[in-house]
Amino acid sequence: MYHLVIFASGGGTTLQAIIDAIEKKELDCCQINLVISNSADAYALERAKKAGIETYVIQEKKANEIDNELENLLKNYEIDLIILAGYLKKIGPQLVEQYTIINTHPSLIPKFCGKGMYGMKVHEAVVEAHEKVSGATVHYVNNHYDEGNIICQTQIEVSPNDTADDVAEKVKAAEKLQLIEVIRDLSQIKKHP
């Protein structure tokens, strides 16, 4: 079994895509052991509870205290991969050193990324820049926002009449498919080193 921990801050649509892929046997050797959020109101927590997955909410405190809290929490779980799925906080260096962590970002890194560039802010910037393509990137997490090694990218076409909402819908669809493929590939590497 390939053990996952998912970090999410919002609605959890990416989490739901992973849950669905596991249920449909597309990720048949994967199991989500824990969903962590920095927001008690995140709908991702409800999605996890409906799927019978343990949840944990990080209380607001200093960054180093959060790192220690997470380190103490995570050592109680078997973890092969941590996935940041719409998680809006920076992961501390202690966790980056101890775990394999990937992030999904709604642009073609290195464009439209870094601190403060997430969600609709990215898609609005793409439209304002009159980009002809955008897309999604899955990358390893290091100690800098969106600077870890890129695992893969998927391009989508941006039409001249597309709004930020249009771009968001296209990117979300590509992002979820791409992430499932990456998780499958990483789980297969563990299975057949």
- Distance from C-alpha of 6 to C-alpha of 74, rounded to nearest angstrom: 11
Q: What is the pLDDT of residues 53-95, one digit of tens each?
A: 999 999 877 778 888 999 999 999 999 999 999 998 889 999 9
Residues taking part in catalysis: 105
With a CB cutoff of 8 Å and minimum separation 6, the contacts of 8 are 14, 15, 35, 36, 37, 42, 44, 85, 86, 87
Taking CA atoms, 148 is separated from 26, 120, 124, 136, in Å, by 26, 22, 24, 14
Global confidence as pTM:
0.94
- Distance from C-alpha of 50 to C-alpha of 35, rounded to nearest angstrom: 12
Domains, in order of start, for the chain: 2-108+136-153+175-191 (3.40.50.170)
- Give the mean pLDDT of 94-105: 96
- Distance from C-alpha of 135 to C-alpha of 126, rounded to nearest angstrom: 10
Q: What is the pLDDT of residues 121-155, one digit of tens each?
A: 999 999 999 999 999 999 999 999 899 999 999 99
Beta sheet of 133-140, edge-to-edge order: 55-57, 30-37, 2-7, 81-84, 101-105, 133-140, 150-157
